[in-house]
Structure 1
Amino acid sequence: MKLLTILLVLVVGVLIAKNRLWSFRAQQSSDYAGLGPSISLMEHLNGEILSEGLIYGPNGRVANSFVARMHGVWNGNTGTLTENFTYSNGKEQARKWNLTIIDDTRFTAIADDIVGVATGEVSGATIRMDYTIVLPEDAGSHRLNVTDWLYLTNSGVILNRSEMRKFGLKVVELVATMRPDPEALMQQEAAE
């Protein structure tokens, strides 16, 4: 019995260490300091943006997919990012982020379905944001803790990966791309 208890404690210890040291959650903004290309909230979250993504459920399988049209506008150190999602199950959702840049690396954000204030950090080619989101009523109104990472690639495409947790357990993962909306760019070129 004593040996079984020791083995159980060791297994739990290894799992905790793995989560804290060698996983998505273990990343720190400082891991990306100095790596390029440099991402900028005001530059890369500005104008018309097209996002396409997959949402994975707790079993690791794709539960839904989406297309989102976003629009970013900045006035000094404050900006808004309006998101309009269309999901593969036919549902639609809108969110409006209000962003405030604090200094060269830190920012805050608020939105109607966010509890309190989201905190964010910009470092090298990455943006990290942490917040608590309240899911819509038809999704159970659950409160989930979110870690959201954006990674700018050399081509200018942003890769977005998010983990959503409840009671410390991952229940949703999101993977998406974000890029200037080609349809909006064509309309802009045609108008010029």
Structure 2
Amino acid sequence: MKKLAYVCLYTGLLLGVMSCSSASIEDYQNTTPRLDLATFFDGKLTAAGIVQDFSGKVTRKFTVTMEANWTDSPEGKQGVINEWFIYDDGEKQTRVWKIIDKGNGVYQGTANDILGIAQGESRGSALRWRYDMQLAVDGSEYQVHFDDWMFLVDNQTIINKSDIIKFGITVAQVTLVISKQED
């Protein structure tokens, strides 16, 4: 019984430490190069990525072709990012992001499969998006939460890492490398 109590205590402490140690967007305040969505997501881009399940096993691979542009409006700079996905099993998907730059590194976005408004915040070379999505998997749909981080590596490359969360548990991860294309 005493051994079980110690196991429970250590497990609780470990979970407590892990929950307190998550990254904050403020951690990237002084990192370079500085990420500006309107500068990076402008014109033609391509990406390649993987989806991993909760155990880390790669379950899907995909490529994305993107076209992005920005205009000025009274609400702030507005961007449209068209994304065309092709998965390794032949599935095709299209997503159109509509993004508003609210100023001071704050962004809001919507897309066809995003529930509500995605909230983004940028500091230094990083951007963190948080949003809910209706995700189709094997003929069923699930409402999940995305904790989506982008890191500008250089003026031509972003690495994007997303945790897909259901009931507070990370059930999958997406890793994506996005590259700007020469005109």
2: CA distance between counterparts of 1:142 and 1:20? 28
Q: Distance in 2 between matches of 1:132 and 1:171?
A: 14
5 Å matches for 1:62-141? 62-76=58-72, 77-136=77-136, 138-141=138-141
The secondary structure found in structure 1 opposite 2:148 is strand
**What is aligned with 1:44?**
40
Stretches of structure 2 lacking an aligned partner (at least 5 in a row): none
Deviation at 1:15, TM superposition (A): 2.0
Q: CA deviation at 1:14?
A: 1.1
Q: Is the Cα–Cα contact under 8 Å of residues 65 and 84 in structure 2 kept in the other structure?
A: yes
Query: Structure 2 matches for 1:22-33, cutoff 5 A?
Result: 26-33=22-29
Change (3 A) 1:139 1:124: farther
Alpha-carbon distance in structure 1 between the residues aligned to 2:111 and 2:175: 21
C-alpha distance after superposition, 1:101-127 (max 9, x if no partner): 111210100111111111000110011
Whole-Å Cα distance in 1 between the matches of residues 78 and 166 of structure 2?
31
CA displacement at 1:152 relative to structure 2: 0.6
Q: State the structure with bigger RCO (CA 8 A, min sep 6), 1 or 2.
A: 2
Match of 1:7 in 2: 7
Q: Could you tell me the TM-score, scaled by structure 2's length? A: 0.91
Distance 1:36 1:156 in 2: 13
Cα shift readout 1:81-136 (whole Å, capped 9, x = no counterpart) = 11110000110111111101111210100111111111000110011100011112
Instruction: State the shift of 1:19 in Å.
Output: 3.6
Deviation at 1:139? 4.9
Aligned-residue RMSD, C-alpha: 1.6
> Which residue identity is paired with 1:94?
T
Using the aligned pairs only, state the percent identity.
Answer: 25
Matched, 1:54 2:50: yes
Query: What's 1:167 paired with?
Result: 167
Q: Deviations over 1:1-35 (max 9, x none)?
A: 365235313312312321431xxxx1111100021
Cα deviation for residue 75 of structure 1 reads: 0.5
Distance change (3 Å), C-alpha of 1:80 and 1:145: same
TM-score by length of 1: 0.87
Q: Per the alignment, do residues 147 and 176 of structure 1 end up closer, same or farther by CA in structure 2, a change over 3 Å counting? A: same
Corresponding residue for 2:154? Answer: 154
Please state which structure has a larger fraction of its residues in strand: 2
Distance 2:139 2:67 in 1: 25
Report the Cα distance in structure 2 between the residues aligned to 1:136 and 1:60, rounded to whole angstroms: 20
Query: Structure 1: which 5+ residue stretches go unaligned?
Result: none
